[in-house]
């Protein structure tokens, strides 16, 4: 208790610094995965992508980032076992943040495909198991998180498969694909608006002080979905179509209609990413703050202060602006085989999965979800060629990231323990 009273301010400042560092890493690296499909399919330019990412990552982090933050903060470790020594939780969370951020930096410099989510979860589990004892880790919750890493690509893949098949059935196989695209694409826009609003309203808005019943949320989501659909129709009207002799089904024009849709799915993806991944930086930070503020009382039910999510959002934005734009450019120009219709199916599926996971408070990896979604479109015969070796690389990055994050976190944990006593 004394240690916390003595060094409370330092702990908060350190936590903010490390949290910002971590959020910077998330923004610099991970956002590119979320925006890559949209840029790669040439639906939006890199500048537009950055603008969308800045606005919607921030909104996602702020409005819907609460649930996953709570899981990272209090779900992985058993708070009851920490009541005697709350300062250990502070050290641990500080070291987890620092470990994950540094690991992210090292891996990014080497070009290893690591997940920010894996880094932070690995780090928290690591210091928990070694620094506090194996019993301190809520293994049930960890198992649930681990299983979600398997389920999320599968779910995203299934949704992407169904979406692409529906596009194929409704639009590409109709006798006039362009007319069909004009008719059905607003429906997909509605879907995007509805899913995002629904999860935000039902799960995310409690900390902003807005409490809506399920019925109210449903109604408001439908209204928002229709409003966004209206916007989509207006944008669709402004497309200029070109007639090409070689293209007797007019698929080039159909893809232009999908280009409009891609802008919405890009927004949804940025929102989803912000809502899930902000927690990686903000969760430990919130834990430190709540322990210090309450003078050592560990209260897992306390609300996350609103400015903490904003800090995380700001960190992501700074990372994106200072470094992420280059990664987006690389990823975006690398993906040449992706048309807007395929990119749409993949991105919307991934965004829905991430948004759903954020709603239930599960931290999942955006990268894995997207990879699953792209594979889903591939299974629907939508992709010209996919390199399956990447799945192996990702599996290896899993194996490396968890112990690496854990090892670094243990190291820092004992360092802080030595420094503050």
> HSE (CB half, 13 Å, CA atoms) of 174?
17
The CA distance from 174 to 384, in Å, is 22
249 binds other proteins (CB under 8 A): yes
Interaction of residue 299 with other proteins, rule CB under 8 A = no
Closest approach of other proteins to the CB of residue 350, in Å: 11
Q: Which two tokens stand for residue 402?
A: 């968890």
In the bound state with other proteins, the residue whose beta carbon lies nearer, of 33 and 200, is 33
Q: Determine the interface stretch with other proteins among 60-68, 161-169, 188-196, 235-243 (rule: CB under 8 A).
A: 161-169
Contacts to other proteins from residues 193-222, by CB under 8 A:
none
How far apart are alpha carbons 36 and 48 in whole angstroms?
12
Residue 268 DSSP SS3: helix
65 is a contact residue toward other proteins (CB under 8 A):
no
Yes or no: say if 130 and 349 are a contact pair by the CB < 8 Å rule: no
Examine residue 188 and tell whether it contacts other proteins (CB under 8 A). Answer: no
**Applying CB under 8 A, what is the total number of residues that bind other proteins?**
57
At residue 46, φ and ψ (nearest 5 deg) are -65, -40
Binding letters toward other proteins, positions 69-108, x by CB under 8 A: ---------------------------------------x
Q: Which of 14, 20, 33, 224 binds other proteins (CB under 8 A)?
A: 33
Binding residue (CB under 8 A) for other proteins from 380, 402, 404, 408:
380
Q: Is residue 109 near other proteins by the rule CB under 8 A?
A: yes
Q: Give the one residue of 295, 381, 399, 421 binding other proteins; rule: CB under 8 A.
A: 381
State the minimum distance, in angstroms, from the CB of residue 133 to other proteins.
35
Q: Please give the backbone phi and psi of residue 169, each rounded to the nearest 5 degrees, phi first.
A: -70, -45
Residue 389 binds other proteins, judged by CB under 8 A: yes
Write down the least CB distance from residue 104 to other proteins, Å: 10
Question: Are 36 and 29 contacting, i.e. CB atoms less than 8 angstroms apart?
Answer: no
Only one of the segments 24-32, 93-101, 233-241, 274-282 lies at the binding site for other proteins (rule: CB under 8 A); that segment is: 24-32
Q: Tell me the CA distances in angstroms from 132 to 36, 137, 301, 363, one per residue in order.
A: 40, 8, 21, 22
Quick one: tokens of 248?
């007797």
Count the Cβ atoms, other than its own, within 10 Å of residue 6: 13
Q: Give yes or no for residue 248 binding other proteins (CB under 8 A).
A: yes
Which is nearer to other proteins, 73 or 368 (by Cβ)?
368
Q: Beta partners for 137?
A: 77
Tokens at residue 50, please?
Answer: 């950055």
**360 C-beta neighbours (distance < 10 Å), count:** 14
Q: How many CA atoms lie within 13 A of 16 on its CB side?
A: 14
Q: Which of 168, 184, 231, 303 binds other proteins (CB under 8 A)?
A: 168
Minimum Å distance from CB 267 to other proteins? 19
| 378 part of the interface to other proteins, by CB under 8 A | yes
* Token pair belonging to 173: 């196989």
Q: Does 371 bind other proteins (CB under 8 A)?
A: yes
- Determine, following the binding rule CB under 8 A, whether residue 338 of this chain makes contact with other proteins: yes
If one asks whether residue 393 binds other proteins (CB under 8 A), the answer comes out as: yes
Question: Is residue 45 a contact point for other proteins (CB under 8 A)?
Answer: no
Q: How far is the CB of 277 from other proteins (least distance, A)?
A: 15
- Contacts with 22 (C-beta within 8 Å, 6 or more apart), sequence order: 97, 100, 101, 104, 116, 120, 280, 281, 315
- The answer to whether the beta carbons of residues 207 and 309 sit under 8 Å apart is yes
Q: Which of 229, 332, 200, 289 is nearest to 15 (CA)?
A: 289
Please choose, out of 3-11, 26-34, 74-82, 131-139, the segment that lies near other proteins by the rule CB under 8 A.
Answer: 26-34
Q: Tell me how far CA of residue 198 lies from CA of 61, 73, 293, 319, 420, in angstroms.
A: 16, 24, 33, 28, 45
Span interacting with other proteins, options 64-72, 149-157, 162-170, 209-217, rule CB under 8 A: 162-170
Contact 112, 396 (CB under 8 A): no
Residue ranges that bind other proteins, judged by CB under 8 A: 28-29, 32-33, 36, 40, 108-111, 113, 164-165, 167-168, 172-175, 177, 247-249, 251, 255, 323, 326-327, 330-331, 334-339, 341, 367, 370-371, 374-375, 378, 380-390, 393-394, 397
């Amino acid at each position: 208790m004394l240690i916390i009273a003595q060094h409370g301010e330092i702990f908060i400042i350190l936590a903010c610094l490390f949290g910002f560092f971590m959020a910077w890493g998330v923004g610099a690296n991970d956002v590119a995965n979320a925006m890559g499909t949209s840029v790669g399919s040439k639906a939006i330019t890199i500048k537009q992508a950055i603008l969308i990412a800045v606005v919607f990552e921030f909104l996602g982090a702020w409005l819907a980032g609460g649930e996953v933050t709570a899981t990272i903060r209090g779900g992985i470790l058993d708070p009851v076992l920490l009541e005697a020594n709350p300062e250990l939780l502070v050290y641990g969370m500080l070291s987890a943040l620092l470990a994950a951020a540094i690991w992210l930096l090292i891996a990014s410099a080497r070009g290893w495909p690591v997940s920010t989510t894996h880094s932070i979860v690995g780090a928290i589990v690591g210091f928990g198991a070694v620094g506090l004892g194996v019993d301190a880790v809520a293994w049930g919750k960890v198992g649930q998180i681990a299983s979600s890493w398997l389920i999320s690509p599968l779910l995203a893949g299934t949704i992407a498969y169904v979406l692409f098949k529906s596009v194929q059935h409704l639009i590409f196989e109709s006798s006039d694909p362009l007319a069909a695209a004009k008719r059905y694409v607003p429906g997909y826009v509605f879907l995007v608006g509805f899913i995002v609003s629904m999860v935000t309203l039902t799960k995310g808005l409690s900390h902003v002080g807005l409490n809506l019943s399920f019925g109210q949320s449903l109604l408001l989501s439908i209204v928002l979905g229709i409003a966004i659909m209206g916007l989509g129709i207006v944008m669709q009207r402004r497309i200029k179509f070109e007639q090409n002799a070689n293209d007797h089904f007019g698929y080039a024009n159909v893809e232009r209609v999908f280009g409009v849709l891609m802008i919405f799915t890009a927004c949804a993806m940025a929102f989803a990413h912000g809502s899930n991944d902000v927690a990686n930086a903000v969760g430990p930070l919130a834990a430190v703050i709540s322990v210090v503020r309450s003078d050592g009382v560990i209260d897992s039910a306390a609300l996350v202060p609103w400015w903490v999510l904003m800090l995380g959002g700001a960190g992501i934005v700074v990372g994106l602006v200072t470094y992420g734009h280059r990664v987006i450019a690389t990823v975006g120009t690398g993906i040449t085989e992706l048309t807007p219709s395929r990119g749409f199916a993949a991105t919307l599926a991934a965004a829905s999965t991430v948004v759903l996971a954020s709603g239930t408070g599960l931290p999942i990896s955006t990268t894995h979800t997207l990879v699953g979604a792209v594979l889903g479109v591939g299974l629907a015969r939508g992709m010209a060629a996919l390199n399956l070796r990447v799945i192996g690389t990702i599996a290896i990055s899993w194996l490396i990231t968890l112990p690496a994050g854990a090892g670094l976190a243990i190291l820092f944990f004992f360092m802080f323990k030595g420094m503050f006593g």
